Structure 1
């Protein structure tokens, strides 16, 4: 018997060893190495026998032949079908799960692909096909998709042992004290505010850019739009870095670069240098937008993460509001463009230090580090995570980060419509930054400092919405206790918030007639801010549940479309208000926003049928539970 065979075949020990293991595990599980014992073979070789999980212990933990869909934060591998997706969320007694034991349970690459085939067959017979193609084209596309999804994956070496968290493991972010998890949630949410603030900081002092470089307003506006465009491209870098090396590494390098590139923004000798550096600032800082939601989800189990994610939904839409509020006063009192960027750099620098100091939360990376330690201490090279065993394919990673999001944007009408609504709300927020200067400057003669203060009602409305999301989350949790959840259950917040967002725009248009009542147009920001956060919070959860099997790709589609809209609207908002007039420009946006109210209500009542008719395959939580 080889050394590795001895290690993998040993699944029991005497009571003394077991008790010792239990004590070690309870006292210092983060340093816990599965209990070993030494034995001597006939040829005198010393063997270390390592205790691992058995078929019975895994069954007691709820492991069955059918592998569940991986968690939203599970890493990508070269193989589409992983045999042990529970590795990153499950705690075991020994911390090691042999592949041979999983195979004894029926977890093999062949069985997983067969399960996938049955799912595809059920979807095909249920009519999940595109309505625009002919029958022959549909069958051809289905065969191609089935061939891709059911492609045989080589069986894993049965001697490999997967690493898991041990019972009550303090290294598992889910086990951190609740107050620590909420502290990190608030700090990471502040990081999102910092990044979003940076995108709009210059909107409080566009006049300083015009005076510094002797350019028109349209050229100055590009300093805002280009950073927002950078938000859509940055995730192509930071998402793979996070998957490979962890959140902490991604935050350290990305926010560090963001801090550095604020220096040439402040000292830019010409407009070209400013615009190039602002674009790069968007690319570097985008980690704060694309990774923080994952970091928060790392710390909370799926059934309790809703309230924490609500904070994340609040921040991308309130951070930009602080930009004109703060920098309007800097612009008026000093007239210095560089000071705006020095303040932004200081804020970013503080958040760089804080985000880099937060411990690693990404379970796959935590377990990879543990596996490396165990390989060194036990001498067993076949202790690893499934991500390491399956390999990390660059092509699969790029497919998930780039190709699949682009494909979803043109082949998934439900996703496109939902992302369009998110894009519209985000774009309208940036439109406010350029509509308010026209309204309050031309009607009331306000300078940038008081124009910035007019943004505060948006922040007030968003704060009300944050509190209201807790009620929405409690209603959802009560609902799923009585029946099986559906993605449409997530739309409650959007149904409540959609009319408020439209109401804010109607109010803005109606109150710009009377220049003596400045409080009236300013107060329109309260219902808009309230509806804006509720819509984003609700639709973000809806996208995850509709595309749970490819949630990261679906959310990447949302980020790309949202950033594109946020970058485009500032380029024409000022001209639109001048050409159409103050009230009709607001009313045009109000008409569009009112028409979009039908989306959450329509999806709530007809969403499941529409997903089945308009989508080629069902990627939702419904299909997962079938």
Structure 2
């Protein structure tokens, strides 16, 4: 990434932690229509060394004792971190997301075996998948907004540790209650990673590179969940081995958790400047030094208003967030429905339980292809638009791949559903295009939400994950009933018709998005 070169980089933030943006990324936040809380006075100063950060050469005296960035090239600013450091940061945090999604669905193939072992109906053991997803609903209520207040790393670390710890009672549990409760709390803690990663990437990258980074984390949400049924089918091939679904989740979480110790650092500008001020107070003996955000005491009512109720207020007042959440929820739920649909469709051909999970490889290839397509689009057309404009394009310029995905997905679902009586290769190829279509919708959709809300994105993504998970958690429960009653063909057709109904959304927002954003109290103008 090219470091900002202008000494007039802008500090932005309205009712959210402020951070210094690179010179080519200058969204202007609008004030919320509601009454401002006292915490809104905590903006950080601009990095202009000739204006707000006047300091002596010995580094001991800041203007008004307010500690800010040491100019636009301050190496502590996340935008100025070395490219390799940021690359490892993105890879490891995205891998943790893949671990969380892997754990959510790896248990699915073991439902029949564990139902027989514990002598309960199979629907009870399918709750193990649903409760993990339901945990995604509970966690972001606190994790996302609290990351804006206390920083990203603390929330991320709590999430990783909690996810790992709760795998132990699942692996060692001797009753259904233990397994179900601990899988729920695994989802709760795992959602910590989901809740903060988008905010991390906003701090690290300008829009072009951020699109690639968000694409990687977005496919990891679904890539882990797609690999998991294959792994779960082979791990659970024998009755005594189902516990290894938890051990496997624990092992990969521990590996990437240890990697995070060496690669993931605090990326919240608010917390970095607070820590910098604390360090300078001891180094210089000037106890008046402080970050701008430390000037205002944040009371409990501010925390509740700004951080705990903010995601809910955003969802009920933001049509962009509401419509995209509905669309991405359908996409996300379709993926989880496929965990039952694909094995059912191929077992009807006489395939074994293990073999019937292998077509998920085709879905996985489609997911990876979608990220490649999205990345190429971002680094070519999107980047060229930014170069011509001399500024980041509006968020709507993220949407062309989503339009393509909306066109690809419905016929792919119909293709899969109605090709059960022809050669299996036909359904396998259709599976590839289902994965491609799903992710071409999902990845740009996430990027669009983040671009629209910028430093409110943690709260926006929190409520998005909450709603998405609350609805999607029911999909594994009715999947088999749906496919048994309607059959693979008509069940897939029903999903296709729903997707057709929502497919116009990115087209409409591409045309009218700027006007719709003008109604928003949280969107950033570009």
How far apart are the structure 1 equivalents of 2:99 and 2:49? 39
Aligned counterpart for 2:97 among listed residues 175, 178, 192: 192
Structure 1 residue 233: deviation in Å? 1.6
Using structure 2 for the length normalisation, give the TM-score. Answer: 0.86
How far apart are the structure 2 equivalents of 1:167 and 1:591? 51
Secondary structure in 2 matching 1:448: coil
Q: Which residue of 1 aligns with 2:133?
A: 228
- Where relative contact order (Cα < 8 A, 6+ residues apart) is larger, the structure is 2
Structure 1 residue 410: deviation in Å? 2.8
Q: Which residue of 1 aligns with 2:161?
A: 256
Q: Which residue of 2 aligns with 1:387?
A: 293
Pairing 1:620–2:526 present: no
Pairing 1:62–2:8 present: yes
Secondary structure in 1 matching 2:120: coil
Aligned counterpart for 1:498 among listed residues 406, 417, 420: 406
How far apart are the structure 1 equivalents of 2:15 and 2:432? 36
Structure 1 residue 565: deviation in Å? 2.5
Provide, for residues 388-417 of structure 1, a one-character-per-residue CA deviation record: whole Å limited to 9, x for no partner. Answer: 112334433333443232233333333211
Q: Which residue of 1 aligns with 2:461?
A: 555
Q: Which residue of 2 aligns with 1:325?
A: 230
Secondary structure in 1 matching 2:67: strand
- CA, structure 1 residues 437+400, in 2 after alignment: closer, same or farther (shift >3 Å)? farther
Q: Which residue of 1 aligns with 2:359?
A: 454
How far apart are the structure 2 equivalents of 1:73 and 1:446? 54
Q: Which residue of 2 aligns with 1:79?
A: 38
Task: After TM superposition, list the pairs within 5 Å mapping 1:35-50 onto structure 2.
Answer: none
Could you list the runs of 5+ residues in structure 1 that have no partner in the other structure? 1-59, 99-157
Using structure 1 for the length normalisation, give the TM-score. Answer: 0.73
- CA, structure 1 residues 288+552, in 2 after alignment: closer, same or farther (shift >3 Å)? closer
- CA, structure 1 residues 384+97, in 2 after alignment: closer, same or farther (shift >3 Å)? farther
Structure 1 residue 350: deviation in Å? 1.2
Aligned counterpart for 1:580 among listed residues 486, 498, 503: 486
Could you list the runs of 5+ residues in structure 2 that have no partner in the other structure? 1-5, 20-35, 56-62
Aligned counterpart for 1:282 among listed residues 184, 187, 190: 187
Question: Would the aligned equivalents of 1:231 and 1:282 in 2 still touch at CA under 8 Å?
Answer: yes
Question: Would the aligned equivalents of 1:202 and 1:224 in 2 still touch at CA under 8 Å?
Answer: yes
Structure 1 residue 81: deviation in Å? 4.0
Q: Which residue of 2 aligns with 1:344?
A: 249
Q: Which residue of 1 aligns with 2:341?
A: 435
Aligned counterpart for 2:507 among listed residues 601, 613, 617: 601
- CA, structure 1 residues 609+388, in 2 after alignment: closer, same or farther (shift >3 Å)? closer
RMSD of aligned Cα (Å):
2.8
Aligned counterpart for 1:300 among listed residues 189, 201, 205: 205
Secondary structure in 2 matching 1:511: coil
Structure 1 residue 163: deviation in Å? 2.8
How far apart are the structure 2 equivalents of 1:263 and 1:93? 56
Secondary structure in 2 matching 1:380: coil
How far apart are the structure 2 equivalents of 1:419 and 1:556? 11
Task: After TM superposition, list the pairs within 5 Å mapping 1:372-383 onto structure 2.
Answer: 372-383=278-289
How far apart are the structure 1 equivalents of 2:52 and 2:240? 61
575-584 or 345-354, larger mean C-alpha shift: 345-354
Provide, for residues 428-450 of structure 1, a one-character-per-residue CA deviation record: whole Å limited to 9, x for no partner. Answer: 00010111232222x12333321
- CA, structure 1 residues 86+503, in 2 after alignment: closer, same or farther (shift >3 Å)? farther
Q: Which residue of 1 aligns with 2:332?
A: 426
How far apart are the structure 1 equivalents of 2:522 and 2:266? 30
Question: Would the aligned equivalents of 1:97 and 1:164 in 2 still touch at CA under 8 Å?
Answer: no
Q: Which residue of 2 aligns with 1:487?
A: 395
Secondary structure in 2 matching 1:304: helix
Structure 1 residue 215: deviation in Å? 1.5
Structure 1 residue 469: deviation in Å? 1.0
Q: Which residue of 2 aligns with 1:478?
A: 384
Secondary structure in 1 matching 2:267: coil
Q: Which residue of 1 aligns with 2:421?
A: 513
Structure 1 residue 568: deviation in Å? 1.5
Structure 1 residue 523: deviation in Å? 2.2
How far apart are the structure 2 equivalents of 1:262 and 1:269? 13
Question: Would the aligned equivalents of 1:72 and 1:552 in 2 still touch at CA under 8 Å?
Answer: no
How far apart are the structure 2 equivalents of 1:512 and 1:559? 34
Task: After TM superposition, list the pairs within 5 Å mapping 1:113-262 onto structure 2.
Answer: 159-165=64-70, 168-262=73-167
Greater Rg over alpha carbons, structure: 1
- CA, structure 1 residues 610+289, in 2 after alignment: closer, same or farther (shift >3 Å)? closer
Question: Would the aligned equivalents of 1:94 and 1:166 in 2 still touch at CA under 8 Å?
Answer: no
Provide, for residues 304-356 of structure 1, a one-character-per-residue CA deviation record: whole Å limited to 9, x for no partner. Answer: 32222221121101110011111111111454221211111111111221223
Question: Would the aligned equivalents of 1:189 and 1:312 in 2 still touch at CA under 8 Å?
Answer: yes
How far apart are the structure 2 equivalents of 1:582 and 1:371? 61
537-546 or 432-441, larger mean C-alpha shift: 537-546
389-398 or 451-460, larger mean C-alpha shift: 389-398
289-298 or 544-553, larger mean C-alpha shift: 544-553
How far apart are the structure 1 equivalents of 2:187 and 2:143? 12
- CA, structure 1 residues 512+335, in 2 after alignment: closer, same or farther (shift >3 Å)? farther
- CA, structure 1 residues 551+180, in 2 after alignment: closer, same or farther (shift >3 Å)? closer
